Structure 1
Amino acid sequence: MSSFGVTPTGFVAKTVQDILDDIEAGEKTDFGSDINVGAESILGQINGVIAAALAENWEVLNAVYRSLYPGSATDEALDNVAAITGVSRLPATRSSMVVTCTGTPGTPLAANRVVSTGNNDRYFSLEAATIGGGGTVDVEFQSEEFGPIPGVAQTLTIETPVAGWTSAANAADADFGRELETDADFRLRREELLAAQGNATLESIRADLLSVDDVERAFVYENPTDVTDGRNLPPKSVEAIVTGGDDLEVATALFNSKAAGIQTYGHPPNDVTETVTDSQGVDHTVNFTRGDEITIYFRVEVDVTSDYPATGDQDIKDAIAAFGQTLGAGDDVISEKVQSIVFSVEGVFDLTLFYLDTTSPPTGTANIPISVREIADIQTANITVVSTPV
């Protein structure tokens, strides 16, 4: 069996040198062993050109072979392989925020009005609105660019002026969108879905919940016993703790993925109850829990060098807020982890004071425990940074 091409261990492509060796060996067999095939000879140079061209063909064959398998396929080829098992790559989404538009009562604001942040990131309104009698109206805006576009709580700049519309501001940070799912993340999610598919496992249920539009985090717990457990889950029940997403869509995903005969549980006071109708027209009550978001406040004081950028204070806030986006239900806020993030900003020489707390102004220094039904909510508006040149 040839040691190149499809072998028992996979596809092995010939290199330029492998091809060149074959060509030279054939020439010496046909024309005599004393023929000059050196790299500086005319024949040797021709051989080199041909070998390079043939090596490209081997690379194409290797790429085609690898595109057949999810572990090695990339980009569109990976999309095609995953589609065979009904899994699609998560698309890029836009960041969003609620903007309070202030102005003369009765002023109409058409859709696609544009505001910009201090970083010149542009957001557009999704729907038409009219400024109310109190002189304000809240409107949902989305970023023009896809992905996690910063939108810290601040006064915004109106880029598409309208007579009667005087100012715009977002009281809370934008909810981050996401980049197009990477090949590595897509492969991992596909494996998790296939491993859980049809088994009604916790991972299967969680994967289905995370696939619901706008769901940010999802965690699933079960009580397989015949008595109420320590988390107050009833016997033979599952509890989904979810942030983001439409209530009915979340409930439907939970109903469709759980095992028959297993009840769903929502923990007060953040329990949600929805009615889901199955394919036979039968209504079912589905319960789940909305994660309780715990607001975390920070005060950070740093000594900085001349390398510290003009935007350094905001950079520290953004970095801490970005860390918060990685925390899930039950993830404690670890003081040392956040402190290390502060030093990721160029020019930070020393951290002279660091407080974190669930009340404002913060005075604590210890880690903040987060229970299984809670999620740390870290917003730049709740982070104070004081920098002092040294």
Structure 2
Amino acid sequence: MSQSDTNVPPPALTDSGFKAPALSDILTGTIADLQAAFSGRLSFYDNSGNLETSRPQSQIAISEAAIINDVHAAFLALMAGVDPQTSSGVMQDAIGRIYFMERRAGTPTIVTGLCRGAQGTVIPSGTVVQDTAGQTYTAMSSGTIGADGTVSIEFSNTQNGPIPCPAWTLTRLYQIISGWDSITNPVAGSIGQNVEDRADFEARRQASVAANSIGQNASLMGALLELPGVTDAYVTDNPAQAPTVQQGVTIPAGAQYILVEGGNPQDIGQAILHKKPPGIPTVGTQIVTVQDTNPVYAGNQPSYSFRYDRPTPVAVHVVMEIAASDAVPSNAAQLIQQAIVAYLTTGANRIRLGRTVYASRLSAVVDGLGDWAEVLTLSIGTDGNAGQNRLTLPINQLPTVTADTISVQVVA
């Protein structure tokens, strides 16, 4: 059917995008088409000029308009899916595959458990423990209790997602092993992640462009962020001829500092090998040795040892007061805690290495919960007193936040 056969206004594909007519204009067109088909004998409106929706002909016009509008909406969604800035879901996955990227699955919270007991006691890989909230964790590797009666083992939550494990909460022995007396975690766990969302996927796609280069700090950082299991990374260097302090970390002269949260050491080593400029020393507490497998060496491949750091988890405390009123719900503290944790652990706003956290932005998050959430004071810090309006940790410290580190008081 040509446009002359219908009174429904057509969509347009312009230089600025797809332009669909308003639903009201589409409805006016479908009514005019039905009137034309029945020689103007149909009545759609009451005496006041309002559309009478109970009439069969009105229902037909409304349904046709809705169908046409739904088609336009689907095409608008398709157009949005082509643009990396607005793409989501399967369309964003398709764009990612152009860059040889796949959306990351969720990751579990990982916590270091300090196990105490008799010297020589072996705690096998897969051993199960629980925290005080009933969350279950399994040992990622085996460990043997040493002469000091302790051994540190990393435990992984059995579920993926941002499940908190605050310090001193991993205390329950789910399995009995002779010679093993107790477990605890002096440091909070490294929070896991949900399936990668739209904002994080797009940020990683943009970073992957830098990963295609070689010899720059951004090249290595982009490559590290692409590795399976890596949730954050930071790379900087000191071009000076003397040690310098950068964001709270002392870097030796002429050295490159590499910080990685998560990921397999061998994968990290290979990324450093392929992206780091030759001859520049690396610094850090972790050492990994990898072999250059380039076939040019014809079976005589050299090996290199690189250093890098793992960030130390540091709890971020939030202390706030809201105004009392009859509208404040009984679970106000829980709602506020959930909103702040979600804001700081997911999406484009999640706290990352070296990033500043602003109390004002958290206040806006709370205000968005409703008119009842009137923030009187809000401060942040690294202890229960908080007291700061912004917080920037050294780059080798990983900010973590849980409901237990958020204090909410209702003040009359």
Whether the TM-score (by the shorter chain) exceeds 0.5 is yes
Are 1:174 and 2:189 an aligned pair?
A: yes
* Distance (Å, rounded) in 1 between the aligned partners of 2:59 and 2:316: 70
* Distance (Å, rounded) in 2 between the aligned partners of 1:206 and 1:112: 32
Are 1:162 and 2:181 an aligned pair?
A: no
Are 1:29 and 2:36 an aligned pair?
A: yes
Match of 1:242 among 259, 265, 271: 259
Are 1:42 and 2:56 an aligned pair?
A: yes
Secondary structure of the structure 1 residue equivalent to 2:109: strand
Q: Tell me by how many angstroms 1:253 deviates.
A: 0.7
Q: Tell me by how many angstroms 1:131 deviates.
A: 6.3
Residue 271 of structure 2 is matched in structure 1 by 253
Structure 1 letter corresponding to 2:109: S
Work out the percentage of aligned pairs sharing the same amino acid. 21
Unaligned runs of 5+ in 2: 4-8, 46-50, 245-251, 368-372
Secondary structure of the structure 2 residue equivalent to 1:154: coil
Q: Could you tell which deviates more after superposition, 49-58 or 98-107?
A: 98-107
Structure 1 letter corresponding to 2:282: G
- Counterpart contact for 1:251–1:287, Cα < 8 Å: yes
Residue 145 and residue 58 in structure 1: after superposition, are their counterparts in 2 closer, same or farther (change >3 A)?
Answer: same
- Counterpart contact for 2:170–2:185, Cα < 8 Å: yes
Unaligned runs of 5+ in 1: none
Structure 1 letter corresponding to 2:76: N
Match of 1:277 among 292, 308, 324: 292
Residue 68 and residue 16 in structure 1: after superposition, are their counterparts in 2 closer, same or farther (change >3 A)?
Answer: same
The 5 Å alignment of 1:332-347 reads none
Residue 297 and residue 81 in structure 1: after superposition, are their counterparts in 2 closer, same or farther (change >3 A)?
Answer: closer
Match of 2:200 among 177, 181, 185: 185
The 5 Å alignment of 1:120-269 reads 120-127=134-141, 137-154=151-168, 156-158=170-172, 160-162=174-176, 164=178, 166-194=181-209, 197-198=212-213, 200-215=215-230, 217-221=232-236, 228=241, 231=244, 233-234=253-254, 239-244=256-261, 245-258=263-276, 262-267=278-283
Q: Tell me by how many angstroms 1:111 deviates.
A: 5.1
Are 1:326 and 2:351 an aligned pair?
A: yes
- Counterpart contact for 1:79–1:88, Cα < 8 Å: yes
Residue 6 of structure 1 is matched in structure 2 by 13
Structure 1 letter corresponding to 2:273: F
Secondary structure of the structure 2 residue equivalent to 1:97: strand
* Distance (Å, rounded) in 2 between the aligned partners of 1:121 and 1:78: 33
**Matched length:** 364
Residue 36 and residue 183 in structure 1: after superposition, are their counterparts in 2 closer, same or farther (change >3 A)?
Answer: same
Q: TM-score, normalised by structure 1?
A: 0.67
Residue 379 and residue 28 in structure 1: after superposition, are their counterparts in 2 closer, same or farther (change >3 A)?
Answer: closer
Q: Could you tell which deviates more after superposition, 283-292 or 246-255?
A: 283-292
Residue 144 and residue 204 in structure 1: after superposition, are their counterparts in 2 closer, same or farther (change >3 A)?
Answer: same
Q: TM-score, normalised by structure 2?
A: 0.64
Q: Tell me by how many angstroms 1:85 deviates.
A: 1.9
Q: Tell me by how many angstroms 1:183 deviates.
A: 0.2
Structure 2 letter corresponding to 1:265: P
Secondary structure of the structure 2 residue equivalent to 1:47: helix
- Counterpart contact for 1:155–1:168, Cα < 8 Å: no
* Distance (Å, rounded) in 2 between the aligned partners of 1:185 and 1:49: 39
Residue 201 and residue 33 in structure 1: after superposition, are their counterparts in 2 closer, same or farther (change >3 A)?
Answer: farther
Residue 222 and residue 11 in structure 1: after superposition, are their counterparts in 2 closer, same or farther (change >3 A)?
Answer: same
